[in-house]
Structure formats: C-alpha cells, structure tokens
C-alpha cells in the first residue's frame, strides 16, 4: 500500500468532503489497477491510501495533479493553497503552512482595504489559489491568479462563488429555486468550491439571496463589469 497526502482541504461536512474526494480520486485511477481510500490528517488534508499493482504510478499521478502540502516555503517559489482567513491586516493562505498577503501585495487588484478587495473579487475562505513567496512567510498572488480574478471581474456576467458544496448539491439548489434558466453553468474551482456563471441579465446578488438560505456555504459575488 502507498500512502500520500494531497493538497486537498477537508472542511465543513467532512464526511461529504471525504466521499467527494474519494470518488474524484478513484475516477482519476479508473484505467489503472489501483483503489484509493481517503481519510483526513490532523491538519485536515486528504490522506490517500492506494492499493494495487499500479499504486506507485497512481501516487505519482495524483501528486503531480493535486500537489502536496508543504511545511517550509522558499522565497521565489510558487505554491498552491487555500484562503485560510481574511482580516483587516492580512489575507492568510494555507499551503501546508500559513503565509500572509499584505495590503501592499494586493495592489494589482486595485484600491481599497483587504476586506473590500476580497469582496470585490469573490475571494472567500477555502478558495484554491496560487501564490509566490516573497519573504519569510510573506506572499503575493501569482500573475496567473491575478489574471483569473480580473477575468472574472471583467466578464460580461456575474459569478457567484460558493464553498463547502458539491457540484450536484449546487445544481439541485439552483433547480429548486427555479434559476436554472438564469445561469450558463457551474465552473469547478476545487473539489468543494465552485463558481455559478450567471447569464447577462441575471443579478448575482439576487441569486445569492435565493440560494444562500439553502446552502451551508460561504458565498462571494463577482459583479461582472464587462
């Protein structure tokens, strides 16, 4: 058996998150002789136990696709992680260890305080992001990450960002509230993080008002300005 730790954050309804990750991982391995069992580490990362003839290859495949949390970061290197918290002083990102993004490093996203910038771009807790280390436990969003945020913002349609929810659960809530015709679709950002892409004449905050009470999620809205 081969055991690896993947950079997949388990939070909220942990049983549901584990089931979702396990289904996704085994789907990745469906052409291989390998079966994966997912559990959680003390730090709430996905522990994956792989058994089968192709367990070594499978482990390398999953690590290359999803990465692994790190305990030590080096200046100049790029890491993937998750938004841990948003405060007046900094934006914390969990890459396996916590790194901090200051207000100065958010200038590529425009003017305003940290919470204002986060609200403007739909940045919520557990959102998967990529960061570049530029000091001791200090970071900035990568250019690719900044470009993605701006693509959302400059789009001709609003986006509703939700965490701690599966794609099927989100689709069911949208259907239940009668808003299926008001959206183009759902973009996958992470395993439990998604973006609802609204149609041109659909108001993102209005969608939030309808679906929010039915979801145990933190929700962000990006008002398209295109």
**Would residue 25 be called left, alpha or beta, if left means φ above 0 and alpha means ψ between -120 and 50 degrees?**
alpha
Residues 6+ apart with CB under 8 A from 37: 22, 48, 49, 51
- Residue 10 · residue 43 · CB < 8 Å: no
Residue range 17-45: average pLDDT?
95
Confidence of residue 8 (pLDDT cuts 50, 70, 90): very high
Report the C-alpha gap between 222 and 132 in whole angstroms: 24
Q: Which residues pair with 80 in a beta bridge?
A: 130
Tokens of residue 182, six digits: 């008001």
Decide if pLDDT at 226 tops 80: no
pLDDT of amino acid 135? 85
Confidence of residue 136 (pLDDT cuts 50, 70, 90): confident
Share of the chain above pLDDT 70, in %: 100
Mean pLDDT of the chain: 95
Q: Find the Cα–Cα–Cα–Cα dihedral 8, 14, 16, 20, rounded to 10°.
A: 10
pLDDT of amino acid 142? 98
Confidence of residue 117 (pLDDT cuts 50, 70, 90): very high
Residue range 73-95: average pLDDT?
95
Report the C-alpha gap between 156 and 149 in whole angstroms: 14
pLDDT of amino acid 99? 97
Task: Give residue-wise pLDDT tens across range 126-135.
Answer: 999 999 999 8
pLDDT of amino acid 169? 92
Task: Give residue-wise pLDDT tens across range 192-210.
Answer: 999 999 999 999 999 999 9
């Amino acid at each position: 058996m081969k055991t690896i730790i993947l950079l997949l954050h388990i939070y909220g309804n942990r049983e549901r998150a584990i089931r979702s990750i396990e289904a996704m991982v085994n789907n990745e391995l469906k052409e291989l002789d390998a079966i994966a069992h997912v559990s959680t580490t003390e730090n709430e990362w996905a522990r994956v136990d792989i058994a089968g003839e192709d367990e070594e290859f499978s482990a390398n495949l999953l690590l290359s696709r999803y990465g692994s949390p790190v305990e030590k970061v080096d200046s100049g290197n790029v890491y993937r992680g998750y938004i841990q918290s948003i405060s007046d002083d900094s934006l914390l990102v969990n890459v396996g260890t916590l790194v901090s993004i200051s207000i100065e490093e958010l200038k590529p996203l425009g003017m305003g305080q940290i919470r204002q910038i986060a609200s403007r771009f739909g940045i919520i807790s557990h959102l998967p992001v990529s960061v570049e280390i530029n000091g001791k436990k200090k970071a900035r969003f990568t250019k690719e990450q900044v470009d993605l945020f701006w693509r959302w913002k400059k789009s001709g349609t609003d986006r509703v960002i939700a965490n701690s929810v599966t794609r099927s659960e989100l689709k069911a809530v949208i259907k239940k509230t009668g808003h299926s015709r008001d959206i183009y679709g759902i973009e996958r950002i992470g395993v439990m993080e998604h973006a609802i892409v609204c149609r041109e004449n659909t108001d993102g905050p209005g969608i939030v008002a309808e679906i929010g009470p039915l979801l145990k999620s933190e929700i962000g809205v990006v008002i398209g300005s295109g």
